[in-house]
Amino acid sequence: MRAPRPVVLAAAAAFAAVGLASAQRPPAETAALAFLALWGVLLSAVDLRVRRLPDALVRPAYPVALALLGGTALTVPHGRSAFLGALVGMACLWAFYWLLWFVYPAGMGWGDVKLSGLVGLYLGWAGPGPAVSGAFAAFLASSCVGLVLVLLGRAGRRTELPFGPFMVGGALAVLLLGDPLAPLTGWDGRG
């Protein structure tokens, strides 16, 4: 069975973006980001199609991401603190999404909670500022898309949008383009 053409094109575009944005990154970090890009495209495609983030795809991503970032931690000067930040980011973002789900389960899917730890792992690697910015970017982008769909008459107030693509997109945008809130927060990553 072949992957649908839009998924293949999205994966190619994500790989190209990682390659372009990773000129100054160590190869191990680029490989870790490439995994997030590839797996993120796959998860986004599934979420868009069936409105689910299946355990069979989310769970195996954790050990792979941990191994890739753990290996990267051994090759970069700030590796230990970055890996600790990644673990903290994973726990904090998962707890935040769990709280949102717990308070209002109809507004947040359990699949989004499961994915949040993976996204938090990568964002936490970059630092606390990028973790906040990546999470904020997901909510901002989904709100903007929802508003446009409502204005176009293609959605209503109760229309559910799959949130996984926004989570992955927000994380990749911050990781590849930089933290737009860094000048305001003073958190400039590891540099």
pTM: 0.90
Element (H, E) at 146: helix 128-151
The ranges assigned to domains in the chain are 5-185
Q: Are 22 and 29 in contact (CB under 8 A)?
A: yes
pLDDT in tens, 112-140: 999 999 999 999 999 999 999 999 999 99
- Show Cβ contacts of residue 137 under 8 Å, excluding neighbours closer than 6 positions: 166, 169, 170, 171, 173, 174
Among the listed residues 65, 50, 157, the one whose alpha carbon sits nearest the alpha carbon of residue 109: 50
Q: How many Å apart are CA 2 and CA 17, to the nearest integer?
A: 23
Q: Are 122 and 86 in contact (CB under 8 A)?
A: yes
pLDDT in tens, 16-67: 888 888 888 899 999 999 999 999 999 999 999 999 999 999 999 999 999 9
Among the listed residues 181, 167, 147, the one whose alpha carbon sits nearest the alpha carbon of residue 58: 167
Q: Binning pLDDT at 50, 70 and 90, where does residue 2 land?
A: low
Quick check: 145 pLDDT over 70? yes
Among the listed residues 77, 76, 44, 71, the one whose alpha carbon sits nearest the alpha carbon of residue 58: 44
Among the listed residues 156, 158, 159, 180, the one whose alpha carbon sits nearest the alpha carbon of residue 170: 180
Q: How many Å apart are CA 44 and CA 3, to the nearest integer?
A: 13
pLDDT in tens, 174-191: 999 988 877 776 665 544
Q: Are 109 and 43 in contact (CB under 8 A)?
A: no
